[in-house]
Structure 1
Amino acid sequence: MYLPSRFEARDRAVALQLMRAHPFAALAAVDDEGLPFISQLPMVVQERDDDGLTIWCHCAKPNPLWRHLQARPRARVLFQGPHAYMSPSVYPDLARVPTWNYLSVQCVVDARLVESPDEKDALLKRLISEHEPAYDAQWRALGEEFQQKMLTGIVGLELRVMSLQCAVKLNQHRPEAHAAMHAIYSAGNAQEQALAEWMRACGLVPGVSVQSQGN
């Protein structure tokens, strides 16, 4: 993705925080015509023993996404964090234009289909553990026949992360506007308030200690 160096977060912990906080991500495969084929799916990110990352998810069997990944395993995943408009009124001078601040993570992945019942069951356990651990007992109580029926209706996906980029765009290069930006975002909607929290975490607000965000 287009990512100016001043907005690139190189600390993987920042990327993991965003990916886990915003797990409903867009998976873009390449279809038979060479065009992007995109599905939004709930995902779980797992750190591997070799210091790599694996993303787990699944799609409905009628979704052609898995067939595209079977034919062309290299794909991209986009995790979209908080984002919001910012008015040029935050600057002390008038020769400014509006902007849009945002946080996101984009991964290049190699996909493997998870098709055996045991592997799909293990994948679902990961998703349940991440999103609603209490549901595990209810899932087990539904019985083997029902579970198998549900498992046949999905195709699991193991996405091994080959590379990633993490964007943290908070107008770091415009310190004269940070106080006004923070005030506006703090009083705004949920997306804007989340950006205000990230401004504090990145040390862009006077009087707040700096946490390492790789910028």
Structure 2
Amino acid sequence: MYQPPQFRSTDPAHARALMRAHPLASLVSTDDSGFPVVSHLPLHLREVDGEPGEALVLLGHCARANPHWRYLAARPQALVTFLGPGAYLSPAVYPDRARVPSWNYLAVHCRVEATLVDEAEGKDALLKALIGQHEPPYAAQWRALDEDYTSKMLKAIVGFELRVTELQCTLKLNQHRPESHAALHARYRAGDADAQALAHWMETLGLVSTQEK
């Protein structure tokens, strides 16, 4: 993605935080004609123990009726995008009037290499990872379901592991315009949930002083 240097984050912790807080991702690859195809799927981020560097794997699945898994089998390289909170940036936050509106946002792009998971045991483990992230108490209910029913459900999906081979993280928060930070932070703190989330990120990145929080 386009990344002006002032908005590029090189701290993997920022990307991991966004991917976990906003797990509904866009999985992008190409169909058999070469046209882009997108599936919107919740993905579970796993950090791989015992591997050098920041080894990250995204776990997910799609319906067997969704042809996207076939495209991944044929062309394993794909793109995954995560979009965090975003909000309007008003020119009113600047001390002068020679300004224009803009939009602040947080985003992560991952280049990935896909491996399909289609055996029942692997898909069961994958689903339990998703359950553990979103609703741990449901794990007991899943284990207690009739075996014929769970077998049918597992057959209806195809799982995949997406190994992250390249990571990009953009945190666009007007970092290069410090004269706007205090007013922008105040507006975001008084705004909706997305705006308040951006205010928190401004604090995390040290764009506002303790007195302004």
Question: Structure 2-normalised TM-score?
Answer: 0.96
Counterpart of 1:177?
A: 180
Between the aligned partners of 2:45 and 2:209, the Cα distance in structure 1 is: 34
> Hey, what does 2:98 align to over in structure 1?
95
> 1:64, CA displacement in angstroms?
1.0
- Deviations, residues 116-167 of structure 1 (Å, cap 9, x unaligned): 1111111111111111110011011112111100000000011000010011
Contact 1:58 1:156 in 2 (8 A): yes
Give the alignment partner of residue 191 of structure 2, picking from 175, 181, 188.
188
Q: Distance in 1 between matches of 2:205 and 2:40?
A: 29
How far is the alpha carbon of 1:59 from its aligned partner?
0.3
Counterpart of 2:65? 62
| Structure 1 match to 2:165 | 162
Sequence identity percentage:
58
Instruction: Quote the residue 2:135 is aligned against.
Output: 132
SS in 2 for 1:138: helix
* 2:200 paired with 1:200: no
Deviations 1:24-45 (A, max 9, x none): 1110011112121001101100
Indicate whether 1:76 and 2:75 are aligned: no
Amino acid at match of 1:165: Q
1:208 positional shift: 6.3
Return the alpha-carbon distance in structure 2 between the equivalents of residues 68 and 113 of structure 1: 11
- Which residue number in structure 1 is paired with residue 8 of structure 2? 8
Contact 1:200–1:208 (CA<8 Å) still a contact in 2? no
Counterpart Cα distance in 1 of 2:188 and 2:145: 46
Structure 1 208/158 Cα, relative in aligned 2: closer, same or farther at 3 Å?
A: farther
Moved over 6 A (4+): none
Aligned residue identity for 1:24: L
Matched, 1:109 2:112: yes
1:91, 1:176 within 8 Å by CA — same for their partners in 2?
A: yes
Shift of 1:207: 2.1
SS in 2 for 1:155: strand
> 1:88, 1:34 → 2: CA distance?
42
Q: Which residue of structure 2 aligns with residue 213 of structure 1?
A: none
- What is the RMSD of the two structures over their aligned residues, measured on CA atoms? 1.1
Separation in 1, partners of 2:33, 2:2: 24
Q: Does 1:152 align with 2:155?
A: yes
SS in 2 for 1:2: coil
The match for 2:38 is 38
Unaligned segments of structure 2, at least 5 residues:
none
Q: Look up the match of 1:22.
A: 22
- Give the aligned partner of residue 48 of structure 1: 48
TM-score (structure 1 length as normaliser): 0.95
